[in-house]
């Protein structure tokens, strides 16, 4: 009986090892086919779901290394989205600065809670958003928004209110 068991193990184990050898090259091949930029992004998220990161700062620069946006997050929780098989970062107490072409701040935005979609480099807020222009000429408050951190663009979602200050016209003096 022991001989039969030993003989069956000798036959089964090599076939299991052979199966493992066949699976590994396919997994390695998939990782070679992936975009290197995507690999770099995902390698930054080698953090388990449920992990909490405090006081995170995420600067975004364009190809010429000019400032595009700066995001600060007081508390960030790593979560996995099972439906899309992606990682979502859930942030609390966020502040976002968007910059113009000269690198000057064009707006400051305060967000209570938002999700950061790593693959799209977007911040999706489903809570109160307050955006104020750096020159004080506009302010907007909404119940959500979508922010592209890589391009410095934002869409505020309603209901929303806004206030624009238009400077008074200067009177022209007659010659």
Tell me the pLDDT tens digit for each residue of 137-153: 899 999 999 998 888 88
Residues 155-171, buried b or exposed e (16+ Cβ, 10 A)?
A: ebeeeeeeeeeeeeeee
Structure confidence at residue 84 (pLDDT): 65
Cβ neighbours of 175 (radius 10 Å): 3
Measured CA to CA in angstroms, residue 13 lies from 5, 17, 19, 27, 36 at distances of 12, 6, 10, 22, 37
Torsion of CA 149, 152, 158, 163, to 10 degrees: 140
Structure confidence at residue 6 (pLDDT): 33
Q: How far apart are CA 38 and CA 41, in angstroms?
A: 5
Low-confidence ranges of the chain (pLDDT < 70): 1-45, 81-82, 84-85, 174-175
Structure confidence at residue 92 (pLDDT): 94
CATH-assigned architecture of domain 40-164: Sandwich (2.60)
Structure confidence at residue 166 (pLDDT): 81
């Amino acid at each position: 009986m022991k001989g039969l068991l030993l003989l069956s193990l000798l036959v089964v184990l090599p076939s299991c090892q052979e199966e493992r050898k066949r699976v590994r090259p396919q997994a390695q091949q998939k990782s070679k086919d992936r975009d290197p930029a995507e690999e770099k992004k995902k390698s930054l998220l080698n953090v388990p779901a449920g992990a909490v990161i405090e006081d995170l700062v995420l600067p975004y620069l364009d190809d010429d290394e000019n400032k595009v946006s700066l995001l600060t997050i007081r508390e960030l929780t790593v979560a996995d989205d099972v439906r899309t098989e992606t990682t979502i970062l859930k942030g609390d107490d966020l502040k976002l600065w968007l910059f113009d072409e000269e690198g000057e701040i064009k707006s400051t935005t305060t967000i209570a809670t938002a999700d950061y979609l790593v693959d799209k480099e977007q911040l999706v807020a489903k809570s109160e958003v307050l955006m104020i222009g750096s020159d004080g000429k506009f302010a907007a408050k909404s119940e959500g928004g979508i922010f592209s951190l890589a391009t410095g663009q934002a869409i505020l979602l309603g209901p929303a209110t806004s206030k624009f200050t238009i400077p008074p016209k200067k009177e022209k003096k007659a010659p």
